[in-house]
């Protein structure tokens, strides 16, 4: 059994940033001042697969947005902390709430506010377009960019390492 297999089998919590991870990091405003974000549907299914495998998923974001609330609700994510730049402190609050340790948690982020959380967990990850020092700190860097399937790629990697991918895949076959 590889190190990733052993580590993935212990995970209870998968936490991630939003902007630059679940989105491409672009914030767009329309002429009425309304904010718009785009989320990748493949990432959403990756999150659902993690949940189906019994893992808890949490979102921690530095910005507050009704679109994040809506997307979290659509995906059944109840652990959402918004408007917090101190990602590690927020992550510690979630682990305490759900009764797990950082050694049972994984985190994906893309920029400097995510660095402490990436370094503190058992498995830190980032999208391909994360800033270089975050890529250096992460245990795993996806080939996909943020908002373009990076979370789905990471989810599949973790589920394969846990030995759960084939059973999940079969549940979608005719």
At 2, the pLDDT band (50, 70, 90 cuts) reads confident
Dump pLDDT digits (tens) for 47-75. 999 999 999 999 999 999 999 999 999 99
Contact between 174 and 164 under an 8 Å Cβ cutoff? The reply is no
At 1, the pLDDT band (50, 70, 90 cuts) reads low
Q: 3-166: what CATH class?
A: alpha beta
Dump pLDDT digits (tens) for 7-43. 999 999 999 999 999 999 988 888 998 888 899 999 9
Residue range 151-174: mean pLDDT, rounded: 94
- Taking the domains of the chain in order of start, what are their residue ranges? 3-166
Q: What angle do CA 37, 43, 49 make, to 5 degrees?
A: 145
């Amino acid at each position: 059994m590889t190190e990733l297999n052993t580590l993935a089998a212990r995970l209870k919590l998968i936490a991630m940033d939003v902007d630059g991870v679940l989105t491409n990091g672009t914030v767009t405003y329309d002429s009425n001042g309304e904010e718009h974000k785009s989320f990748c549907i493949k990432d959403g299914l990756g999150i659902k697969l993690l949940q189906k495998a019994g893992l808890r998923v949490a979102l921690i974001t530095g910005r507050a947005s009704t679109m994040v609330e809506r997307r979290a609700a659509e995906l059944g994510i109840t652990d959402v902390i918004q408007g917090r730049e101190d990602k590690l402190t927020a992550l510690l609050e979630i682990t305490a709430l759900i009764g797990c340790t950082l050694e049972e948690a994984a985190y994906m982020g893309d920029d400097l506010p995510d660095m402490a959380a990436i370094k503190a967990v058992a498995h830190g990850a980032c999208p391909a377009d994360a800033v270089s020092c975050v890529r250096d700190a992460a245990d795993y860097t996806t080939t996909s960019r943020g908002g373009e399937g990076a979370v789905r790629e990471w989810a599949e990697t973790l589920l394969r390492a846990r030995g759960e991918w084939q059973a999940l895949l079969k549940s979608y076959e005719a």
